[in-house]
Amino acid sequence: MRRTRVVIADRHPVILQGLSRVLGAQHDFKVVAHCGDGASCLNAIRVLVPDIAIIDMLMPGVAALIKFSSEHAATRLVFFASSVEDRDLRTLALAGVYAVIPTDIDPDALVQTLRKVADGQRLLPKPSPSKPPFREESAVADEALTALTDRERQIMRLVSEGLSNKEIGRRLNIADGTIKVHLHNIFQKLDIGNRTALAALAISQNDYASPSPGSRGAKGRQRRRHNE
């Protein structure tokens, strides 16, 4: 029997050890790498090409993992998180993430979920009654992007490339505090809860490009230029 090869990436050693023990006890899983940060996880995925990567959703460097996975679909991404808003689940699903597993999940349920992912099942979130149907989510997200200023679109694009606030500040020659203010405004305008979901949204809009200085915005549409 072929075993499902798994890479685990988490900031917390206890979680790494716990996941490894649970999967190591199964005859159909093989943990091929443990990683404590996004960069080492990305390297492991590139070199080992596992079937599944279980990733701490809030770990630095997650955006680069989502971007790489969107371009090289051999490894299925599963996020591990203490809590996630429905809005962010939908955004992650649009970017190709297979599942988001709560950190308090029962070990047996964890194994069953990963077996479904290994079989190719995308465990997409059910849309909330107050939200549009999932099939319309991409169009809704695309429309929301028109509310962003040119600077906010630049920052969104750089977040999707995996840059930290400090790296973005150096790239754009603006203060770290200003980056935080822009991100707060972006989260509100797009109705998302964290930079991982922001990166997923940017990546899911695969023809979305950050505007060059003086441009009118993404996708070549004529948009009114906003002040920062």
Backbone angles phi and psi of 34, in degrees to 5: -115, 135
Place of tokens 């290994």: 118
Record the pTM: 0.70
Query: What pLDDT shows up at residue 202?
Result: 84
Q: Do residues 9 and 101 share a domain? A: yes
- Give me the CATH number covering residue 75: 3.40.50.2300
Distance from the first to the final alpha carbon of the chain: 57
How far, in Å, CA of 148 to CA of 98, rounded? 28
Please report whether residue 190 resides in a domain.
yes
Residue type, position 221, single letter: R
Total residues belonging to the chain = 228
**Which residue, among 90, 41, 99, 109, has the nearest Cα to 190 in the 3D structure?**
90
Between 184 and 221, the more confident residue is 184
Range of the domain at 162: 134-220
Rounded CA separation 14/151 (Å) = 40
Q: Report yes or no on 123 lying in a domain.
A: no
What CATH number does the domain containing 196 carry?
1.10.10.10
Specify if 59 maps to a domain.
yes
* 49, two tokens: 């090409």
Q: What is the DSSP string of 87-145?
A: HHHHHHHHTT--EEEETT--HHHHHHHHHHHHTT---PPPPPTTS--GGGHHHHHHHHG
Taking only the tens place, the pLDDT of each residue in 159-180 is: 888 888 899 999 999 998 999 9
| Segment 1-41, tens digit of pLDDT | 789 999 999 999 999 999 999 999 999 999 999 999 989 99
